[in-house]
Each structure stands twice: as structure tokens, then as C-alpha cells.
Amino acid sequence: MVDETESVRALRLGVAGPVGTGKSSLIATICRALAGELRIGVITNDIYTDEDARFLRSAGVLEPERIRAVETGACPHTAIRDDITANLLAAEDLERDFAPLDVVLIESGGDNLTATFSPALVDAQLFVLDVAGGGDVARKGGPGIGRADLLIVNKTDLAPYVGVDVPQMVADALQARDGRPVIALSRTDAESVAALRAWVLGVLDAHRQGEHVPQDPGPMAPHFHADEEHPEGGYVHSHDEEHEHEHPHPHPHPHAETVAGR
Ligand SMILES: Nc1nc2c(ncn2[C@@H]2O[C@H](COP(=O)(O)OP(=O)(O)OP(=O)(O)O)[C@@H](O)[C@H]2O)c(=O)[nH]1
């Protein structure tokens, strides 16, 4: 009998969120929870290093060859949204080298609140916040918080130490997201890991059935780029086509350059 799942391209899942919120750890958690039943590959994006890939390889959650690094140059969000070539090539290489894969997880470089993946690169995306970033972050909104397919409120085990009310933070997030899903996660809380596992399996099933439609959370909000050579120490920049040429300073984003670890 032909297994229909074999003919469908791997589900590509993006993981974005501010620096240090736990994106690599979350990918390790997904791999631990699902590597026994799914064929998984991972692509990491770092600015100048392959540190996240090395962390994941050393975590021993997947064969090291299934974890590849894209070095993005100065602006990590560019490689997941504006010029996705390096990531697409890395995903296609991984899918070809380990065919058939069920899921390819793509971690964005740690950035700010505004970075989101292009729906041309990923089928669905998770946005990761953590309680240590403050209970009010979920209320601040932005494309990832508001419209990613899943919002993770991470490191809930730290909530008592940083004085954050997790149910309130989740309620604020649900309100900011018009009811789209939110999972309060700690890698030490088995129930929350089970909820994450069930969400991934649900999206994979919808993807295989042809019922999943990739959503675009929207372009990055205007944001500040520090630049020592600029008279004001930096400039506000937008990735919105309409505004892109309003800035007096040339666009500094180098294109994603290297696909390392191949
Ligand atoms: N207490 C606790 N710490 C966590 C949890 N998940 C991750 N961490 C810690 O948070 C720190 C940052 O985790 P990473 O997974 O490296 O975060 P990241 O978002 O990938 O970081 P960048 O790639 O630098 O943006 C590490 O010290 C992790 O051990 C969690 O559930 N609970």
C-alpha cells in the first residue's frame, strides 16, 4: 500500500521570538517529544556563528547531520522574511538528503518583537515569549504575538521568581490574538510539553490532508537600527514596501550569505 504521507513535502515550522526566550530549547523539546515517531530536520539561523546548531547537536536530540546552520550576516530577520534563499536552499537540501522528512524546524536568529517568517518559507510559525521578559509583553502585540500560528509563553517555571502571573499573561495574549492558540510552556512541565506535541501533530495532520493554509502574520513593524556612523546614532527602518525608500540611509541588510554545515 502506498503511504500517502510520503508524497507530501515536510511540514516547515518556523520558530521566532526575541533573543534568549528559549527558541533553541523549545526545538530540543519538540525533538525529544517527537523524534521517536517523526523524521525531523532542523535549520538554525545565527548572525555570525553556528552556535544554536552546535547547542542542538550537543543536546543529542537528533543525529547531528540533521541539524544545519544558516549564517545570516547582520540582520537575522532578513533571512526569514525578505531574502529567504539561503533558508529555502537549506530546507530543500535537508529534505533531499534525509528524504522523506516529516517536519523541518527553522529557528530564526534571536531578534526583537517584530520579526516574522515569510509564508513562502514556512507553513506555520511559533512565536516565543518568556515570562522573564515581563508579564506585560504579551499585551504589546506586534505581528508575531498577534498572528503567529502559535504563541508560546515560555519558562513558566521561572514565574514565581520574576513575579509574573502566568494565567494573566496567557489571558492577555489570547486577547491580543483574537483567540488564536497560546501554550504556557516549561520544558520541566510534562503537561505543557504534551500540549505542544499535540499542536505540532495537529498542524502536521492538517498539512498532510491539504487542509492547512499558511498565514502571513504581516510585515515587520518599523524598528530602530543603531548605526554609529549615522548622525542620530541610528535610524528607523521599515520592511514595508511603501515606506522602504523613505529613509535617508542606504539599506544595510546584507543578503543571507552562507549555508554552513553542509
Ligand atoms: N527555567 C527555564 N529556562 C529555560 C527554559 N527554556 C530555556 N531556558 C533557558 O533559557 C536560556 C535561553 O534559551 P535558548 O534556548 O538558548 O534561547 P534562544 O531563544 O534560542 O536564544 P537566542 O538563540 O540567543 O535568541 C538558556 O539558558 C536555557 O537553558 C525553561 O523552560 N525553563
Q: What is the pLDDT along the chain (262 residues), one digit of tens a residue?
A: 445 555 679 999 999 999 999 999 999 999 999 999 999 999 999 877 788 888 889 888 899 999 999 987 767 788 898 889 999 999 999 999 999 999 999 999 877 778 899 999 999 999 999 999 998 998 888 899 999 999 999 999 999 999 999 999 999 999 999 989 999 999 999 999 999 999 999 999 999 999 999 998 887 666 666 777 888 787 776 655 444 433 333 333 333 333 333 2
Q: How is 171-199 classified by DSSP, letter by letter? A: HHHHHHTTT--EEE--TT-HHHHHHHHHH
For cell 510539553, the residue is 193
**26 CA from centroid of ligand 1 (Å):** 8
Cβ atoms of 84 and 121 closer than 8 Å = yes
- Provide the pairing of β-strand 11-16 with 124-130: parallel
Any ligand 1 atom below 6 A from CB of 20: yes
Determine the atom of ligand 1 nearest the C-alpha atom of 29.
Answer: 6
Distance 139 CA to ligand 1 centre (A): 22
pLDDT 10s digits, 214-232: 998 887 666 666 777 888 7
Question: Does pTM surpass 0.90?
Answer: no
Q: What distance, in Å, lies between the first and last C-alpha atoms of the chain? A: 34
| Predicted ipTM beyond 0.90 | yes
- At the topology level of CATH, where does 4-260 sit? Rossmann fold (3.40.50)
Helix, strand, coil share of the chain (percent; to 5): 35, 20, 45
- Measured in Å, residue 156 CA sits from the centre of ligand 1 at 12
Instruction: Assess whether the C-beta atom of 72 lies below 6 angstroms from ligand 1.
Output: no
Domain map (residue ranges) of the chain: 4-260
Cβ of 50 below 6 Å from ligand 1 = no
Q: Is the shortest distance between the CB of 21 and ligand 1 below 6 Å?
A: yes
